Amino acid sequence: MTAQILDGKVIAARVRAEVKTDAEAFAKAHGRSPRLEVVLVGEDPASQVYVRNKEKAAHEAGLRGSVIRLPATTSQAELLACVEALSADADVDGILVQLPLPAGFDAAAIVDAIDPQKDVDGLHPVNAGLLSTGGKGLRPCTPSGCMRMLREAGVDLRGKRAVVLGRSNLVGKPVALMLLEEHATVTIAHSRTVDLAAECARADVLIAAVGKSRLVKADWVKEGAVVIDVGINRGEDGKLSGDVDFDAVKEKASWLTPVPGGVGAMTIAMLLRNTVDAAVQRARG
């Protein structure tokens, strides 16, 4: 079988267009566009690129907002004060603190200071709790992007065996909970899993979020499985690769996401989605 490629750029463009329409409707109803504030601490080059892309995408979708750039010498107390001020500002709908923070910061304490209703990264413990109890909080962007891609591929998850590789709070755990919510039978595998290949080979839906280039080989994949590759790994040649051995797995899977141009393209689109949803939810009171 040769896999159909799930094109993240095409699906992300669809999400962005939906967000733009909804942002315009919000502006008409409330006399102001949804506003996203991104906080960047330090000079990390990759974070600078991510933040620039988020700012550009937000403006293209008709959102207001800016990037608050703070020097690496900023103290924990100063960053906390910045986040608390944004949380208290009624004109701000979404707050994103770009992670990872430079060494020395207590990132969990910073995330805790974000108003959960403005937590567009979906990482606040209140939102993580709402996800695990089936509530309607803001959800992490990358896992939401994976779920949207599965929907676009027409995958019915009910009763399917799903395997998630990776158990981070950012990707693995939340995507596993979202799959469970859609009635899949979910296994979460990680670095201590015994016989990873055998676990993966049972999956109807396999989500790889590990951070190890081409870890998932063709013989780890069941014929006809749907494979979502979250991994982004930069090789010594500067080229990006996923956690899945794309060329080999493409001959086994029914659907497969590429890297780049797969899940990565979805993450910013879902951030914009969360910002408009946060604005609408807050306006309802």
Of the CA atoms within 13 Å of residue 194, those in its CB half-sphere come to 0
> Is residue 171 part of the contact set for ligand NAP (CB under 6 A)?
yes
> Of 217 and 282, which CB lies nearer to ligand NAP in the complex structure?
217
Among 210, 216, 253, 271, binds ligand NAP (CB under 6 A): 210
- β-pairing, 233-234 vs 185-189, is unpaired
Among 79, 111, 157, 196, binds ligand NAP (CB under 6 A): 196
How far apart are the C-alpha atoms of 166 and 170, rounded to whole Å? 10
The active-site residue, picked from 93, 115, 119, 121, is 121
Exposed e or buried b per residue across 47-65, where buried means at least 16 C-beta atoms within 10 angstroms of its C-beta: beebbeebbebbeebbbbb
> Of 26 and 255, which CB lies nearer to ligand NAP in the complex structure?
255
| 54 is a catalytic site residue | yes
How far apart are the C-alpha atoms of 189 and 158, rounded to whole Å? 20
> Of 165 and 206, which CB lies nearer to ligand NAP in the complex structure?
165
Stretch that binds ligand NAP, among 9-17, 29-37, 128-136, 207-215 (CB under 6 A): 207-215
Please list every residue from 246 through 285 that binds ligand NAP, using CB under 6 A.
Answer: 263-264, 267
Helix (H) or strand (E) holding 38: strand 35-41
Whether residue 174 contacts residue 146, with contact meaning beta carbons closer than 8 Å, is answered with no
| 89 is a catalytic site residue | no
Among 20, 161, 167, 217, binds ligand NAP (CB under 6 A): 167
How far apart are the C-alpha atoms of 147 and 270, rounded to whole Å? 11
| 4 is a catalytic site residue | no
> Is residue 230 part of the contact set for ligand NAP (CB under 6 A)?
yes
Among 73, 90, 134, 192, binds ligand NAP (CB under 6 A): 192
Binding stretches for ligand NAP (CB under 6 A) = 142, 165-168, 170-172, 190-192, 196, 209-212, 230-233, 263-264, 267
